[in-house]
Amino acid sequence: MAIDKAPRGPRSRARIVRWIVLATVLTAITVIGYLHQVLAVNKPQGVDALCPFGGLETLASFITSGVLIRKIAMSSLVLLGAVLGTAVVFRRSFCGQLCPLGTLQEGFGAIGRKLMRGKRLTMSKSLDRVARLFKYGVLLGFLSITWATSTLVMRSYDPWVAYMHLTTAEVAEYAFGFGVLAVSMAGSMLYDRFFCKYACPMGAFLGLISRFSLFRIRRNAETCIDCTLCDKACPVNIEVSSADVINSAECINCNECVNACPVKDTLEISTSGGTRLSPVAMTGSVVAIFAAAILLGSITGDFSITKPTLAQESGSAAGQGNGGGEGSFLDTGLIRGSTRWNEITEATGIPAETITDIFGIPADDQSRALKDSTELYSVSPGEARAWVDLWQTDRTAAENYVPGTLLSEDHEE
Ligand code: SF4
Ligand code: SF4
């Protein structure tokens, strides 16, 4: 069934501010994802290390053993803290005010609305109610397996991971995620916030927390004229016009209902004690909470946009000054497909000339990632890792090593 959506409401300034924030976050994270694919030096962190859900995925491992699961950095935990901070105060405001995947869905939703002349599709209420439970299954399923195995099992299915690898040469690796991304965007052209409503585990998690949040949207029934513009404006189909307080875990705190309401002060963002905020002030507060968490994380060294080098990772894994160079012992489990040869030199003190002598890789080509050396120099990341192990335990054997004789399972990133 198709329904008409609300026309633009009286608070277009709040809408513009929200859209500027959403577009800025989406642009910034897209650029970071692109630079992660193309830069060799000062490379930004990968998508997993800059995703608050990554913080949730690594939480069990971090709490029980102090170790982050592979591909996750402390930055994810800082972002998780920021999201939790916004959720405690403003419910699912991360979804409605910041989330870049939400912004993409709203963009595709706008295209769908243009094509369908302002109309949107709705599901039958019973089917919709059941379908919305799916995201809780996604949360429970992926989180319990991730916590039990300390592996990012959701990665291959994650549409956001796929989006952040749009420019990678290894598209096939993210094929399933691209499929989920395509279905989510096509779905959003017909149904607002399709992925948020039915499949997002982060949204499901924040929905559970939102039960305890401070601010909610409240309706003043005395001044309400029952025009139902708020219902039509709501992307997640909440019947705002018949509620006194929006308690639904589905509310993404986009404030579109407040912005659409034609009667002043009839819909407001407030606490049970009567503290009120305008939609613009709420957007500003959400941004401020996020900025404060990132600033604090940067000061303590727990948040970094840039990927640490192998020597830095090795130093922090050892918990003290094992920061690389001759005599440093490197945990070779930190060597990945994306590690560069010159990072190995920096972290272990293995001379560049030795790498040239053994594997035939010229010194000026050692800024190449291990995974990119496989085809050119016939040395896989697994062999490189095994050889570094040998160097650290039997220097003479490593110096006389014959390439191709030490093979171990590859470890790509
Ligand atoms: S109830 Fe209002 S704030 Fe919540 S999702 Fe709907 S329009 Fe957005
Ligand atoms: S709350 Fe506002 S938008 Fe919703 S029905 Fe009442 S007057 Fe209309």
pLDDT of residue 319: 42
Q: Which atom of ligand 1 is nearest to the CA of 240?
A: 1
If asked whether residues 102 and 122 sit together in one domain, one would say yes
If asked whether residues 205 and 328 sit together in one domain, one would say no
If asked whether residues 57 and 199 sit together in one domain, one would say yes
If asked whether residues 289 and 354 sit together in one domain, one would say no
End-to-end CA distance of the chain: 45
Residue 169 included in any domain? yes
Task: Give the DSSP H or E segment for 149.
Answer: helix 125-149
Q: Which atom of ligand 2 is nearest to the CA of 223?
A: 7
If asked whether residues 15 and 119 sit together in one domain, one would say yes
Residue 222 included in any domain? no
pLDDT of residue 411: 43
If asked whether residues 282 and 329 sit together in one domain, one would say no
Phi and psi for 121 in degrees, rounded to 5? Answer: -90, 155
**What six digits make up the tokens of 56?**
């949730």
Residue 32 included in any domain? yes
267 lines ligand 2 (CB under 6 A): yes
Residue 225 included in any domain? no
If asked whether residues 27 and 60 sit together in one domain, one would say yes
CA of 276 to the centre of ligand 2 (A): 18
Contacts of 210 (CB under 8 A, 6+ apart): 87, 91, 92, 249, 251
Q: Which atom of ligand 2 is nearest to the CA of 228?
A: 5
Residue 156 included in any domain? yes
CA distance 232 to 4: 7
266 lines ligand 2 (CB under 6 A): yes
Q: What is the pTM of this model?
A: 0.81
Residue 241 included in any domain? no
Q: Which long-range CB contacts under 8 A does 360-365 form with residues at least 24 apart?
A: 360/403
Number of domains in the chain: 2
If asked whether residues 289 and 390 sit together in one domain, one would say no
If asked whether residues 77 and 194 sit together in one domain, one would say yes
pLDDT of residue 272: 95
Residue 45 included in any domain? yes
If asked whether residues 319 and 394 sit together in one domain, one would say yes
If asked whether residues 314 and 168 sit together in one domain, one would say no
Going by their DSSP bridges, the two strands 267-270 and 216-219 should be labelled as antiparallel
pLDDT of residue 87: 97
Residue 369's domain comprises: 310-399
Which ligand is located closest to the Cα atom of residue 10?
2
pLDDT of residue 372: 79
306: DSSP letter: B
Residue 218 included in any domain? no
- Site residues for ligand 1, CB cut-off 6 Å: 96, 217, 233-236, 238, 240, 246, 251-257
If asked whether residues 34 and 91 sit together in one domain, one would say yes
Contacts of 13 (CB under 8 A, 6+ apart): 280
Per-residue pLDDT of the chain (413 residues; tens, 9 = 90+): 555 555 555 578 999 999 999 999 999 999 998 888 877 667 788 888 889 999 999 999 999 988 888 888 899 999 999 999 999 999 999 999 999 999 999 999 999 999 998 888 888 999 999 999 999 999 999 999 999 999 898 888 999 999 998 887 677 778 999 999 999 999 999 999 999 999 999 999 999 999 999 999 999 999 999 999 999 999 999 999 999 999 999 999 999 999 999 999 999 999 999 999 999 999 999 999 999 999 999 999 899 888 777 777 776 544 444 444 555 678 887 888 878 888 899 888 899 999 999 999 999 888 888 887 888 898 988 899 999 999 999 999 999 999 888 765 444 44
CA distance 223 to 219: 9
Q: Which atom of ligand 2 is nearest to the CA of 257?
A: 3
